[in-house]
């Protein structure tokens, strides 16, 4: 970019950068965001389709979960990355509704494009969208219904319907309700920290079960260790039980076979002393993040200690929460107060596939779910479905508020926002009306994915809502507009409010952009010297010479 000053060009932008301005920049961003929205739109509703995502090495994911789809897609456009953030935020805050949030954001931008073409300024549109979102949240609070524990099964059923979990819907619905209620603590349900989900080979999804305790997908360190320990006292280590290597580079000069034997005996003695100290603390079960070598296993076997090595960080965290143990960094530094407690620690399984069960824990809020399936891809999708269902059941337990499903809230919001728009005098009225139209795209998408006539469905829903049936929604199984509350199709209020917040914020952010500056792609050879590994923090690395 250059300006004129006394006839001389003034360069203020690198010529290697491309620049897009005004309506063209806005158009590029809206087109990109709408493409992402359209990509996930076909997954909406109980009859939505799945996506198969294949990475460069051939690994694939089959899912209809919006957050997973966007996470697995190789997205380059910056506006599209904002859409990915919408899904991620929706997943973190509410647990479900990711596809609806992305679709609504895409439709808000699409409606805004039409207004911009009619010479409505983007700032006016964002102001109108903000007014509409505030009003929509007020309306949602008004139409929300207080929930009791009896509706939790319906909440879980709505979340699981249309996913791979359909194959065993009723057992999984009951499992979700039971698990969510079992981990409730202080009025909160923390699914991420309290639930460990493990895949089991073979069997059917109907065999999926709930275990009151922690299940570790590992076997005993050695077959001679006890298979079961009652009244377990558990030590958790973040160090190995093995011969320690020296911290600094050193050499031991050995001049005879006797000296070699003495060195080995000394190493063995040091390990024996550590295990002896561990046993004196009262520990009869050990879980460690590190390894256990042959010498360590030998002395653990002699003491009758059950040990599991190479535990994952997440497994260690859940063990700590369940048993009350404290992580210790020295094998011989374990004291009685550091030990966790459980009624039973047992290895179970057939053949080479075994797992360790820790049951009867001090804190029963840490639990596990075992998913049985003959196909790993099915188990993955069932896990995602269970996670969503557990999260939304937790939302209702925490908030105690629900709304009807099936696109019912969106139709009610659209109708009331149109009435609200008539109270506005400026061009913001047009943006509020556009917001109402965008909301109706949710029930319209649900209808289209079920093979219904979307126009007729929307007309029927509008008529029912105008006559006072505020909970009327799309029944995709009959193709009719029906009362969702009577059918037991309900969703948490939190999911709907977060959809409004996320979609509005993202749409407004993109609408405010009127200038895009993009640099050319650079390879490693184009990186400035001060940004290379050899010149980190301004310290020039020594020249290693040529090969």
CA-CA distance, 105 to 37, in Å (whole number)? 8
Strand runs (DSSP E) across 206-339, as ranges? 209-211, 213-216, 228-237, 285-288, 306-308, 327-328
**Do residues 495 and 391 make contact, with C-beta atoms less than 8 angstroms apart?**
no
The count of other CB atoms within 10 Å of the CB of residue 429 is 17
Instruction: Establish whether 98 is a catalytic residue.
Output: yes
- pLDDT at residue number 35: 87
What the chain holds in terms of domains, given with CATH numbers, is 19-145+404-516 (1.10.560.10), 148-211+378-399 (3.30.260.10), 215-363 (3.50.7.10)
CA-CA distance, 451 to 270, in Å (whole number)? 72
pLDDT in 10s for each residue of the chain, 547 residues = 444 545 555 444 455 566 565 677 788 888 888 888 888 999 998 888 888 888 777 778 888 888 888 888 877 777 778 888 888 888 888 888 889 999 999 999 999 999 999 999 999 999 999 999 999 999 999 999 998 888 999 999 999 888 877 778 889 999 999 999 988 888 888 888 888 888 887 788 888 888 888 999 899 999 899 999 999 999 999 999 987 765 556 666 666 666 666 767 877 888 889 999 999 999 999 999 999 999 999 999 999 999 999 999 988 988 998 898 999 999 989 999 999 999 999 998 866 778 999 998 877 778 899 998 878 888 888 888 899 999 999 999 999 999 999 999 999 999 999 999 999 988 899 999 999 999 999 999 999 999 999 999 999 999 999 999 999 999 998 989 999 999 999 999 999 999 999 999 999 988 888 766 665 555 544 555 554 444 444 444 445 444 4
Residue whose C-alpha is closest to residue 175's, from 147, 217, 207: 207
Query: Which is catalytic among the residues 63, 68, 99, 471?
Result: 99
**Do residues 161 and 201 make contact, with C-beta atoms less than 8 angstroms apart?**
no
- pLDDT at residue number 247: 55
Question: What secondary structure letter does DSSP report for 474?
Answer: E
CA-CA distance, 489 to 212, in Å (whole number)? 30
CA-CA distance, 94 to 395, in Å (whole number)? 7
Instruction: Establish whether 388 is a catalytic residue.
Output: yes
* pTM of the predicted model as reported, rounded to 2 decimal places: 0.80
Query: Which is catalytic among the residues 89, 98, 161, 208?
Result: 98
CA-CA distance, 387 to 381, in Å (whole number)? 10
Q: What secondary structure does DSSP assign to 406-472, as a single string?
A: TTHHHHHHHHHHHHHHTT--STHHHHHHHHHHHHTHHHHHHHHHTT--HHHHHHHHHHHHHTT-TTE
**Quick one: the chain helix, strand, coil %, rounded to 5?**
50, 20, 30
Angle between helices 98-117 and 78-93 (to 10 degrees): 140
- pLDDT at residue number 257: 62
Instruction: Establish whether 99 is a catalytic residue.
Output: yes
Query: Which is catalytic among the residues 388, 395, 460, 505?
Result: 388
Residue whose C-alpha is closest to residue 200's, from 307, 82, 350: 350
Query: Which is catalytic among the residues 43, 63, 65, 288?
Result: 65
Backbone angles phi, psi at 5, to 5 degrees: -140, 110
**Do residues 284 and 233 make contact, with C-beta atoms less than 8 angstroms apart?**
yes
Q: Chain-centre distance of CA 543, in angstroms?
A: 45
Q: Chain-centre distance of CA 391, in angstroms?
A: 10
Instruction: Establish whether 423 is a catalytic residue.
Output: no
């Amino acid at each position: 970019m250059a300006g004129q000053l006394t006839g001389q060009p003034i360069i203020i932008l690198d010529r290697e950068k491309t620049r897009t301005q005004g309506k063209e920049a806005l158009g590029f961003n809206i087109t990109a965001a709408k493409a992402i929205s359209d990509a996930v739109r076909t997954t909406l509703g109980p009859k939505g389709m799945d996506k198969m995502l294949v990475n460069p090495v051939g690994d694939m994911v089959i899912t209809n979960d919006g957050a997973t789809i966007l996470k697995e897609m190789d997205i380059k456009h910056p506006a599209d990355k904002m859409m990915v953030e919408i899904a991620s935020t929706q997943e973190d805050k509410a647990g479900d509704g990711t596809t609806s949030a992305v679709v609504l954001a895409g439709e808000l931008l699409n409606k805004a494009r039409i207004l911009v073409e009619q010479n409505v300024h983007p700032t006016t549109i964002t102001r109108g969208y903000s007014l509409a979102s505030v009003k929509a949240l007020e309306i949602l609070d008004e139409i929300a219904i207080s929930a009791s524990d009896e509706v939790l099964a319906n909440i879980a059923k709505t979340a699981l319907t249309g996913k791979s979990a359909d194959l065993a819907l009723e057992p999984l619905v009951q499992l979700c309700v039971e698990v969510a209620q079992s981990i409730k603590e202080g009025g909160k349900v923390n699914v991420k920290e309290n639930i460990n989900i493990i895949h089991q080979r073979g069997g059917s999804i109907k065999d999926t079960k709930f275990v009151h305790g922690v299940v570790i997908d590992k076997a005993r360190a050695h077959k001679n260790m006890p298979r079961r320990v009652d009244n377990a006292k558990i030590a958790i280590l973040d160090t190995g039980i093995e011969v320690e290597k020296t911290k600094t580079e050193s050499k031991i000069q050995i001049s005879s076979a006797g000296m070699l034997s003495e060195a080995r005996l000394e190493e063995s003695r040091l390990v024996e002393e550590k295990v002896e100290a561990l046993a004196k603390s009262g520990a009869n079960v050990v879980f460690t993040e590190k390894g256990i070598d042959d010498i360590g296993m030998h002395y653990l076997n002699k003491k009758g200690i059950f040990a599991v090595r190479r535990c994952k960080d997440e497994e260690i965290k859940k063990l700590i929460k369940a048993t009350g143990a404290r992580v210790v960094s020295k094998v011989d530094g374990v004291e009685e107060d550091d030990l966790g407690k459980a009624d039973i620690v047992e290895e179970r399984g057939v053949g080479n596939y075994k797992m360790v069960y820790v049951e009867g824990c001090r804190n029963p809020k840490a639990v596990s779910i075992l998913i049985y399936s003959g196909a790993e891809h099915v188990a993955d999708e069932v896990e995602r479905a269970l996670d969503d269902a557990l999260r939304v059941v937790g939302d209702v337990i925490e908030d105690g508020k629900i709304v009807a499903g099936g696109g019912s809230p969106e139709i009610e919001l659209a109708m009331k926002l149109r009435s609200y728009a008539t109270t506005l005098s400026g061009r913001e009225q047009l943006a509020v009306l556009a917001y109402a139209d965008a909301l109706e795209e949710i029930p319209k998408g649900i209808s289209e994915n079920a093979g219904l006539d979307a126009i007729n469905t929307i007309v029927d829903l509008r008529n029912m809502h105008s006559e006072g049936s505020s909970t009327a929604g799309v029944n995709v199984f009959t193709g009719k507009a029906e009362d969702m509350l009577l059918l037991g199709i309900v969703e948490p209020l939190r999911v709907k409010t977060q959809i409004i917040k996320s979609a509005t914020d993202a749409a407004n952010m993109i609408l405010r952009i009127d200038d895009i500056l993009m640099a050319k792609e650079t390879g490693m050879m184009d990186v400035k010297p001060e940004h290379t590994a050899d010149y980190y923090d301004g310290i020039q690395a020594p020249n290693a010479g040529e090969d």
